[in-house]
Structure 1
Amino acid sequence: MKYGHLTFLVFLSFWGITLVISDLYLSVHRLEELAKYEPALLAGIKKYVDAQPLGVPANIVRFINETEAIISNKKDVSHDIRHPINTYHLVERFVFYWLYLFEKLACKKCTKVTAVKDFKAAHHAALHNITRLPVMRDLNGTMRGILRLWRTYKLDINKLMQGEVLGYRGRGLTHKDVVRLIMYAAEHPEFYYEEIVLRTQMVHSLKGTRLYHGGLFELASAYYRHGFINIAKTILESLLPLGDQTLTAAYDYCLKHPDVNVTKTLTAPESDKPSYEALCRGEIKSPKELSKLNCNHRRTLIPIYWSKEEIFHHDPRISLFHDVISDREIDMVLKSSVFQLTRRYSKDSTIDENEDVLATSWLSELKTKAVVPLTRRIQLITGLSTHVSRSYSDSENYEINNFGVGGMQKPHVDFLNISLGEYQKKEERSIRMSGDRVATWVFYLSDVERGGATVFPEIRVRVPVIKGAALFWYNIKRNNDKDQRSLNAECPVAKGSKFVCKKWILEAGQLFRRKCGLSPVSIDT
């Protein structure tokens, strides 16, 4: 594997591609951009194949034909890269097939072939904009995203294998794809349930073939490894008539386990975040609670300008303001930020496979003057100061997020537990003494077909993604206590490319704009 990666890096250097350390699976947008270049690569490879007098291996021809069928039929469900199963297939093609073809073309002897030189010249401009092509880590991240969607939304395994996710069809999973998912789940014990269910499906599909008994043995091994000894014993017992010494030895070993007679049933594991996952699957407020919510026109700092507010919760107040950013402004924000999307590093956690699945970039009013009207609009609607300058600021820079395959953000609070005037050496100079995050404002820059809601588990609030709207809430109470009820999270995106633009409003500048309440339990209205 190390040699393959080394060869891959040599290839990238050969083609003049610049490497940026950022995972593609963290951003659906970057994967969509990757898909745009595949037709050019396919045309070049076909030209190379046509120039070979002795032909090429059958597996390469098969790959070219299958890829061409997918790319040419734009109406086919396989073409939509916003579908997680289709994304998996795209990344898999690059990791296992395109990488192999790149290595073949990068060899010293091959570079003397005229067709290869033409291929390089014809596609250098297109490939120059790809900062990094997928590697195995991206495929692993994509598979983890599919397993996360399965668990969070309790997907039907049969529909999932056919490529259906919450009613949206994509290209189905082949026998080989299922094996890869099984191997990934086997390496990550938290997905033991998914591993066993996938192995069971595999065994059913192998019935009547010479691989059936081997599949049963692997299934028994998985049950044993995850502590279901009685089930493993039953399966191995059914294989004893085959007379295989290995199977007999495994059965005898199973009988020696102290829990061999303990009956355990395979069930889906209980979630460590049950309220979060329940909210992601749908609204869990009662009809009586929902009846207290309403929409209204809310006054702003300008008497003749009213905002359209949809109230999702009264205490703490959580509001969705509709039609607060135009399509033109959305395009401006995206064009100014998408090329800087990169991995987000949290200030209080290490990077691991359980991290938030999103890519991040930042926009400053000082460098991108086009976002200044958005900042003024936030101040106009909320009444809070969003002033930004080089010397001091009352709000942070904009954070733009694009979510990846099964993209999500785990439950967290936005406040930082710091005080106004407390010096923060690691922050930008203008906000080092601006205090904590009083409030959060989130522009929704895109729609998503399924999933991706913003949820507040402590108060059972679920807000759907609506392009052009903005979500607003307070993180600190009016008596200056941190509001733990502001715990929020982003649900996994089942289909779509979700873009959001966040602005955190700080304590500095709010002294006369958001005054202390007359009682410790005063609420915002």
Structure 2
Amino acid sequence: MDAMKLDKDLIDNLKEYLHKLEEKINKLSRIAEELRQPLKAAEGVEEEYLSNPLHSFPLIRHMYQDWKNLEEFMQRPVGEEQIHFLQEKLPELPLKSDRDEATEAMYRMARTYNATPLEMTHGLIDGIQYRNTLTALDCFELGKLYFKWDFPEEAAQWFNITLNFDLEARKDVEVMGLHQKDLVLLLTRSLTEMGEDDKALNVLEKQPDLAENHTSLLKFYKANLNDPTDDLPYLSESYSKLCQSSHVPSPSRLHCRYNSTTSPFLILAPLKMEEISLDPYIVVYHDILSVKQTVKIIRFGEPKMEPTYIFTPKLGAIKHKGRTAVGSWLYSEDFDLPDSPFHNLFDVIRDITGLNIDDSIEIQLLKYGFGAHYGPHPDFFNGSAPDISSEGDRIATVLFYLNDAPHGGATAFTDINIKVPAERGKVLFWHNLKGETYDLDLHTIHSACPVYQGFKFVMTVWIREFNQMFIKPTYRKGNRKFFFDV
């Protein structure tokens, strides 16, 4: 009788174990089916699918965050074989820095293109409607960033949107690290920062495990307001308005014409030139590169691309949030390769600019992904680079657009309220130094607007001043302080 009773107890215990195991399996089954949906939607159209930022951001956020939480859940305590496989793959997953950059890219797009959290959640960016794929976890992550950067109103909107996913009915999100208690506390803090004390108390009272201490919590938050971090990217209002599709250019008397004067060759084959500005001198040349040539250039440079840097006088080249593209440099040996896509590049640049060109010019291929941008900056160094004394400053910039970026990615000159869309085959050319004096032209400060669909590929060429001393002399002394001045 005692043995039978023990057997019965063991079977009951086994059934309880099976019941617990079934609960875990069912929960994982629901999660797996949910995670599979984006892959099904992308099947056969992966590149087009990932060109949508509302697909790329969830993918990076999900791969960095969700699989680590799943790993922890799976270790309780079954599935050892799968856990070992996952542990082997964890080093290959995106890093925290990748997740953070993807989140910040969403912020940049929202701020630049004036998209509210509700519009972003419904897939609306700058008048373009996308199919929305943001999850509760995505919205929560964005809310935390807005709170960290001291935008409590937008943070509260993101947290409220997260609550609308009905987390009580979806306990599986807790496995991924999203607990309603944490969400409610952050929403309360955001409302407190906004001075909405009554709404904050109401939110706390509705959370069972917080209701009892709601007044003391509110008092604590009011006494310890958020101390925002100092790494907030600067996006000026003029920059944002210029990047938006609603921007209407000012009327201009400038016109388009055929240029046949900058080189003798153009007498036979003039180039289509569009005047953008005369002061500073900025022009666009159309139909310069063929589709075949741009494709070959992209194929050549893309495998070599690495994160780009900015140059500072004190620290030299550093990685900075103000520039988020990837790129690769071209060197003289690249032009001599068999079937090189750059075989006539120097001739093209000479025809466009009328300047002296040799193999010392700087050429960089750049790729801007979703949300990638380059904040307002000049192309001249102003004596801060180590090679200025031998080559001079960057007198001019030639920017080749290698593909179409239909939404975002324009080159914006904020000081003169001019925007140039990124369109395959055309070339943007401007002088960074004033022609008569070689003074630095501050009106050439420009930026790359965030890309919010597809990618933008460009090739940037910088031309130095000392090579031009015999063809572009200065006519009068300017205010520029040269590095060799005493």
Residue 315 of structure 2 corresponds to residue 355 of structure 1: no
Residue 86 of structure 2 corresponds to residue 92 of structure 1: no
1:359/1:401 contact within 8 Å kept: yes
Letter in 2 for 1:409: Y
Q: Which residue of 1 aligns with 2:483?
A: none
Offset, 1:335: 1.9
Whole-angstrom CA distance in 2 between matches of 1:482 and 1:366: 32
Whole-angstrom CA distance in 2 between matches of 1:311 and 1:253: 60
Whole-angstrom CA distance in 2 between matches of 1:484 and 1:379: 25
1:399/1:502 contact within 8 Å kept: yes
Offset, 1:284: 5.2
Give CA-to-partner distance per residue, 1:409-459, whole Å, 9 cap, x none: 01111111139xxxx65x5xxx87111100000101111121111011111
1:233/1:255 contact within 8 Å kept: no
Letter in 1 for 2:191: Y
1:102-501 → structure 2 map (5 Å cutoff): 110=81, 133-166=93-126, 167-186=128-147, 188-203=148-163, 218-224=186-192, 226=193, 228-229=194-195, 231-236=196-201, 244-252=211-219, 273-282=236-245, 289-299=250-260, 300-301=262-263, 302=265, 303-348=267-312, 351=318, 354-369=321-336, 370=340, 371-388=342-359, 393=360, 395-396=361-362, 398-418=363-383, 427=387, 433-478=390-435, 479-501=437-459
Offset, 1:176: 2.4
When normalised by structure 1's length, the TM-score is: 0.69
- Give the 3-state SS of the residue equivalent to 1:401 in structure 2: strand
- Give the 3-state SS of the residue equivalent to 2:50 in structure 1: coil
1:440/1:473 contact within 8 Å kept: yes
Offset, 1:72: 3.9
2:61/2:138 contact within 8 Å kept: no
Whole-angstrom CA distance in 1 between matches of 2:380 and 2:68: 44
Offset, 1:134: 1.8
Offset, 1:80: 1.1
Give CA-to-partner distance per residue, 1:462-488, whole Å, 9 cap, x none: 111111111110000011111111101
Whole-angstrom CA distance in 2 between matches of 1:509 and 1:450: 38
Offset, 1:143: 1.2
Whole-angstrom CA distance in 1 between matches of 2:182 and 2:300: 54
- Give the 3-state SS of the residue equivalent to 2:297 in structure 1: helix
Offset, 1:327: 1.6
Give CA-to-partner distance per residue, 1:188-224, whole Å, 9 cap, x none: 3244443122123345565998999986654232233
1:375/1:386 contact within 8 Å kept: yes
Offset, 1:59: 5.1
Q: Bigger relative contact order, structure 1 or 2, given CA contacts below 8 A and separation 6+?
A: 1
Whole-angstrom CA distance in 2 between matches of 1:59 and 1:184: 29
Whole-angstrom CA distance in 2 between matches of 1:502 and 1:293: 25
Whole-angstrom CA distance in 2 between matches of 1:88 and 1:134: 12
- Give the 3-state SS of the residue equivalent to 1:197 in structure 2: helix
2:415/2:444 contact within 8 Å kept: yes
Whole-angstrom CA distance in 2 between matches of 1:85 and 1:374: 37
Q: Which residue of 2 aligns with 1:80?
A: 49
Letter in 2 for 1:317: Y
Letter in 2 for 1:516: T
- Give the 3-state SS of the residue equivalent to 1:339 in structure 2: helix
- Give the 3-state SS of the residue equivalent to 1:443 in structure 2: strand
Offset, 1:330: 1.2
- Give the 3-state SS of the residue equivalent to 2:452 in structure 1: strand
1:504 alignment partner, one of 462, 466, 478: 462
Whole-angstrom CA distance in 1 between matches of 2:284 and 2:92: 37
Letter in 2 for 1:312: I
Give CA-to-partner distance per residue, 1:35-68, whole Å, 9 cap, x none: xxxxxxxxxxxxxxxxxxx9x9445544554455
Between 135-144 and 158-167, report the one with greater CA deviation.
158-167
Between 506-515 and 68-77, report the one with greater CA deviation.
68-77
- Give the 3-state SS of the residue equivalent to 1:407 in structure 2: coil
1:221/1:232 contact within 8 Å kept: no
Q: Which residue of 1 aligns with 2:8?
A: none
Whole-angstrom CA distance in 1 between matches of 2:38 and 2:136: 19
Q: CA RMSD in A?
A: 4.2
Offset, 1:519: 9.6
Whole-angstrom CA distance in 2 between matches of 1:353 and 1:417: 20
Offset, 1:290: 2.1
Whole-angstrom CA distance in 2 between matches of 1:516 and 1:356: 33
Classify 1:89/1:284 alpha carbon distance in 2 versus 1 (closer, same or farther; 3 Å): closer
Classify 1:219/1:73 alpha carbon distance in 2 versus 1 (closer, same or farther; 3 Å): closer
1:285/1:460 contact within 8 Å kept: no
Whole-angstrom CA distance in 2 between matches of 1:194 and 1:100: 27
Classify 1:197/1:387 alpha carbon distance in 2 versus 1 (closer, same or farther; 3 Å): same
Q: Which residue of 1 aligns with 2:228?
A: none
1:233/1:251 contact within 8 Å kept: no
Between 491-500 and 149-158, report the one with greater CA deviation.
149-158
Offset, 1:69: 4.2
Whole-angstrom CA distance in 2 between matches of 1:329 and 1:168: 32
Q: Which residue of 1 aligns with 2:3?
A: none
2:289/2:425 contact within 8 Å kept: yes
Classify 1:250/1:86 alpha carbon distance in 2 versus 1 (closer, same or farther; 3 Å): same
1:284/1:460 contact within 8 Å kept: no
- Give the 3-state SS of the residue equivalent to 2:288 in structure 1: coil
- Give the 3-state SS of the residue equivalent to 1:418 in structure 2: coil
Whole-angstrom CA distance in 2 between matches of 1:146 and 1:506: 36
Offset, 1:232: 2.4
Whole-angstrom CA distance in 1 between matches of 2:409 and 2:54: 17
Whole-angstrom CA distance in 1 between matches of 2:355 and 2:248: 30
1:401/1:499 contact within 8 Å kept: yes
1:25-64 → structure 2 map (5 Å cutoff): 57-58=25-26, 60-62=28-30, 64=32
Classify 1:519/1:253 alpha carbon distance in 2 versus 1 (closer, same or farther; 3 Å): closer
Classify 1:291/1:506 alpha carbon distance in 2 versus 1 (closer, same or farther; 3 Å): same
When normalised by structure 2's length, the TM-score is: 0.75
